[in-house]
Each structure stands twice: as C-alpha cells, then as structure tokens.
Structure 1
Amino acid sequence: MGSALESTDVRNKLEDLSGVVPKPGENPYDALIEACDDDPAKIQELYAAHRARRNAQQRARFLSPDFTELIIDPYLLRLENPAIEPGFVRPTPFPRTRVPPSRTRSRGATHPRYPAARGPQPANARQEDRRHCMTVWARPPNHVLELAEEVQRRLRAAAPHVWLMPAYRMHMTTLELAFSRTAAEISALLAALGRDAVRALADYTATPARRRAPARLVRPFVSYDLSAFALSFVPASGHEPRASPPPAQPGPLDDEHDDHHEGEPIQEPGQPPRPDRYTYHHLRRDLWARARAAGVAVDSRYVVPSAHVTLGRYLGDADHATAAQRRRWVDAIDEVNRWLEGEVWAVAAAPPGGASPAAPRRRFVGEWIVGQEKGFDVRVGTLWYGGGRTVLLGEGF
C-alpha cells in the first residue's frame, strides 16, 4: 500500500489578506459587511484588495531565486496517472442518504461537530480519496463557462502540461458545511440538515426577493498560487454595466404573484435606489445563517473574501522547472488579466438586435448573476476536482 497522502491544503493555506477579522461565535461574513459600512463599493474594494495582494505574493514566490517546487496535488496526480500507484482508485460513489423532513429546532441549536476521520488506515485498506465534504456550489451560466474555457486556452499555450478543470465540473463554492470527513459523517450531517433545509439552500436564489435583487459578480481576473489557478470575481458595486444575456423564459412559477419588475432592487420607503446593495458576500452570509438555523454547525476551511472558479492545477514541473519557464507563466497570467480588464470588464449587454457589425469579434461576458440558469447545487462526496454527487440542484432563473 502507498504512503498516506497529504492534501494540498496542508501546505497551501488560503490566507485572508483583506485585514478583516471575524468575531468568534458570530456569523463570520458579518465582520466584512460591518467593516465596509454595508457599502457595496467598499465590499468590492476588499475582495479586489485580497486577490491583488495574493497575486503579488504568489508572483514573488514563482520568481524568487529561492523557489523550490510547485505544490502538486498527490490525489489528482494518481487519478490522472494510474501508473504512479496502480492500487489507487477513484472513490466509490457517495451512498444515497434518505434525507428526512426538517424537524423543528430551537434557534441556535447545533448538531454535534463530527471529528474528521484521520489517522492510519488498515494495512489492507483500498487506496482512494476519502476526503468527503458537503458544500453549496454556484454553477456558472453558459456565458461564464465560455469565458473560462477561453482563459484556459490562453493559459495552456504557456503551460501545456497543466491539468484543466472540465467545463461541466466547474463550480464556485459559496458555502462549505464540512470537509475531509468520512462518508458516514457526511451522511449524518445531511440527515441532520433535513429535506426542507436542503431545498431552502438550493432554491435560495430563486426566491422572489433574490430575483428582484440578485447578487452580481463582475471583473473576472486570473488568481493563482503554487498549486492551482482560478478565475476570480468581485461583487458588483452598482457602477458596472449589465452584461449578461436575459434570463431564459418562461420565468419562475411564482412570477404572477410578484408585483416587482424582475431585477428591481427591493427598496424601503423613502430610500433612494442603491443598485447592487445585496452583494455576493451578503448571499454567503445568508446561506451560512440558514444552515445554522437548521441546526447544523458550519465547519468551513476558510471564509476569505474570494469568489473563484478553479480552472486548473499543476501535475508536474515540466512547464515550471526553470526560472525562464516560471517567468513565462506569470507573464502569461498578467497578459490574460490585461485582456480581461481591457476587453471583458466593460462589456455591456448586447442591444436587442445583437452585436453591431462594427464589433465582429467574439464577445465574452464577464458578469455572473448568481442563480442564472441554475440554482445552488447542494453537493456531497469527494468534491475536489468537481466530483461527488448532487443532493439537490435548485431552480434557476
């Protein structure tokens, strides 16, 4: 049997570089909202500052004369190259769990935290990825997938040996409820959450309030470190042009009962309009609160101000062995980010007649309205690399 494998998280901690420190015992997403005076522009600034500082940090590491090695994911490496460890297999399917109807719980009640299953495995144990998790994913709409694939294409030209996330597996983790547990522990957590709470999480973006004031993500940018690279976004501030294609018709079932125009922000009487005041960070806060209200403890690895879709990982140093190769890689990322900022960020929605003849080039859209086309994907199993199974996929708009 092969030696115990170490997750990349152990060597590659995702630090919060925003400067905001959550208060113990409280909803961890409230701290940033309070630090920003509930101002969408300030929230965007902190998300942007976090990714800019992290990119600067990682660029320095790639170009440092003291560079030693990339952080290679040993699980993915064995899955992609079975010759490394022939006994290593893809994980068994996560067992289907009957999710009972939610029971009434007192506010603030918690389900006991399940200890992570770590430690030595029996000598005859089958080698596989046993890091089971439970998360709430946001699935990118088609126009974001098209943009992600274009970014992958451009980056692969500089590093042809990287592993690329297939488009059908792409996702953004909006809430992580538990990670690196056994299948039995995740089954128990899912049962404790209950069917009603699962549906409430999955369909949250389809509620009338969220359709009237959806959370928008804008300004895509390539973020990277020594283990992976991703397409990251920041919450809209109210100043970015609308760019997404219109929602698919017909609309949700309860539109006939909704007196508000689709996309119109909810306003208190006498208050001036405040576009995008409900941000993606508010959305993360509310999902966390819903899970806690259902009576489960939320055990996330991190709550940093980041909204990202993993694009790929490194499987070896063939593209990064020399200083010249590493310089080429970071320069390629910088070039893609200049292209995104110069040609994608400012793209507005196409006129009703489509693109004008003066703009024949392919038009990529950098806005993501969370919930468009697909609701949240409540997911369990070995979720790294886009795996696992869906418990419930919520309604899109």
Structure 2
Amino acid sequence: MLTAEENETLCRVEGDAPMGQLMRRHWVPALLSEQLAEPDGKPVRLTLFGENLVAFRDSDGRLGVLGEMCPHRKASLAFGRNENCGLRCLYHGWKFDVEGNVVDMPSEPKESGFAERVKHKSYPAREAGGFVWVYMGPADAMPEFEPPPWAPTPEAHAAIVRIQLPCNWAQIMEGQIDSAHSSSLHSSDMRPARGEATALDTHWVRPSTDKNPRIQVQVTNYGMRYAAIRRPIMNAATQDYVRITTFVAPFTALIPPNATYNVASVIVPRDDTSSYFHFIAWHESREAISTAAWRKFCVAEVGVDLDENFRPMKRHAWNDYLQDRALMKTGDSFTGIPGIPNQDIAMWESMGAIADRTSERLGASDIAVIQFRRIMLDAVARHSSGAAPIGLEAPHLPQAKLRSYQGVVPKTENWRILGASEEEAVYLGGMEEEEDEKAMSQAALA
C-alpha cells in the first residue's frame, strides 16, 4: 500500500503537480486522428492534465492545438469557424493559425499593430499510429517525436477503442499491467483451450487454466517488463506458459499478444479524476482486425455504446453497467457485463475517482502493480531533482522497438528476452550482465 502523500503524488496531474509536469515532457497521445479527419472540420474540445484545449485541422491539413478560450474575452474557440487556414472566434472574429498567431483581428484598427502583439497558447502536434500527439512541456526540453510501439512500420494498422472515464489514470494503468485479474474477471472472454493463444470473433483462447501466475519483474529505464508464468494445459512438467507485459512510461502498456494481433493500451490523464482510455489491436504489416470489428468485439461502438465524444451512453455505475445476473447464474457470463473493457471499467470506477491505496492488502500477484508505483514515484522524484524524464534517458530505446510476448516455452528458457526486438534484446542483455556483476560484487563483500 501507499501513504496518502505517495498516492497524491502518483495520481495528481493538474497544474504544477509533479506527475503532470513529468508527463508533459513526453509527447502525449491526445486524441484520435479520426476526430480531426476533415480539413476545416469541426473543432474538438480536449482536456489534458486539467487544461482545456481545442484541436483542429486547418485547410492545408496542418494540426492545431490551442487553448480553448479566446485570449480576447475568453469565449470558447470550440464554437469557432475553421476556415482558410485558421480558427476564427465567433464573438469578435479574431482568427488564429495552428501556431497561435493572430492572422486577422477585424474588431481592431489595423494600424494599431495590436494583432502582432497577441500570441495565443498553442502546442506542437504530430500524427502517428492513429493518434494526434501533443507536446505540452517547455520548448527547450521537447524530445524528438518518434512512432509509438503500435506503428513500427509504415504498413502497420491499428484499430483503436477510445473511452472517456471518470476515474484517475493510475488505477486504469494498474489494471492494464495486472495479469492475474484476467483469469477471473475476463474468464468468459479469455477461455482455456489446447493449442496456441488466438482471437476468435467472440472470444480469445489461451493454453492455460492456471489462475495463480508467478510474477517476475525486470525494471528498465523506460518502465518495466514483467512475466506472468502459468502452468500450460499440455506438458506442464517441462514447459511454462509465459505472458510478458511491457510498461512504457508514462502512458502505454503493451499487453501479451495473440496469434491474430498485438494488443496495447494507452491511458492519458484528462485531469485528476478522469482519463482517456484506449484499447488497441494492431499488426505491423496488415489489417488483422478492422476498427469496426474491434469496437464491436469490445462492446464499445460509437453511436451504439458510446456517444460521438467517446463517453459511455448505456453502461454506467448508477445502473450497474447493465449487469445481467441471469447470465451469471447460467454460467454464460462470469461477470454479466459484456466486453473486456466494460468489465475493467466497472472495477476501475468502483474504486472511486481516485483509489484509496492506503488500506489495501496486497499479495504475490500484485508484484507488478507494486513495482509500477515504485517506478513512477521514483521517476517523479528524479525528474524533480533535475534528471531526464523516464523513457528519455540514455541509453534510449525507440518505442517502436519495444514488444510484449506470450507463448509456451521450456522451463529453462530465459524469459527476459522473449519476444524482444534485436535492439531491445541487446539492451536487456546488458542489464542482465550488470545485475550479474552487482550480485557477484555483493557476494564478494559478504
């Protein structure tokens, strides 16, 4: 468990909160490209770290992310006209380009030069992997933009679910790196079967009935990799079923894949008590599942389950997420809640807007969750002391080189490099050598 002070540090992201300041030093996956698909289309309201913004794509296809409130009289630019390479406020006609420059100020005399003296808040934006990315930190600390893990090649395809949720980012991320819960909460959707782990239209299958995984963690300078090791259905005496999750601080968890597609989740803080949750199915060279099919599988279809702003329309805490206890009695559903994300959401939201971690009773299956908290609290402390943000320190591994893994392997296999790209394997191998040298030094001193 954490102290109250540690929990506040982990969760709070608004204003000068250290966690939010750390996150602002990274490129933030702020919204989906599909939300700004049309040049001169409707501006999109967006809140990040408690800051209200508006995003738009101009006539030339350039992306703009500005402060939502016009600097003149603070009317919302979300109502503005997106036209002729700028966003025009409806109130007095002030018009801003994607960099926040005032390109027209019809309410003021041109000879006054007032327009040249006004600069509106704007943030750099990029586009990759189905997302619009925003950098919100100091300009002199802006890292080079690089593709995310789910866009390692130009041919990669990602299908993305996005849901706006009324709870803190950390409890969602902890759910994504908690392998043990899948054997219970998702047991109707992740079913045991002989053969390889794969994805069917109605559910996933995997080769184990073991609900008590052994958790082993390898901390890295970008986050961690951890293995959940289970008994496989076949050859359990000589083999292990290994699922490796990779946490890429601060926003991404690479979830163990299946034979059909890779899986990732991205959690972005909207403010202290709400978040944008993204669940991604991707393949590096083709469309393994369409966006429409992925959202249907997840029971997260826009216009059916979610509104146009990706907020739940049907299932809420106040109606128990439409839980069907008749299906629970017949054994057709363990939870009575359809869709893997919806099952998770019921758990995350039930913890409250910010989970109380001061009175938890944690066990061996929570080792990865405990390590996640330590990693992020340490990252905040080091950054506050002047160190580089986590994930941007040397040696730096491009995110597109990072992977997760699942498979049945001999018990003698070294899980720490399973599924790793060539570059990642070299880095992880170097870490093992350092650990071995440290162990030998400690043994010599003893």
| Fold shared by both chains (TM-score > 0.5) | no
TM-score interval w.r.t. the shorter chain? under 0.3
* Structure with higher helix content: 1
Of structures 1 and 2, the one with the larger relative CO (CA 8 A, separation 6+) is 1
- Look at both structures and tell me which one has the larger radius of gyration over its CA atoms: 2
Which TM-score applies when normalising by structure 1? 0.25
Which TM-score applies when normalising by structure 2? 0.23
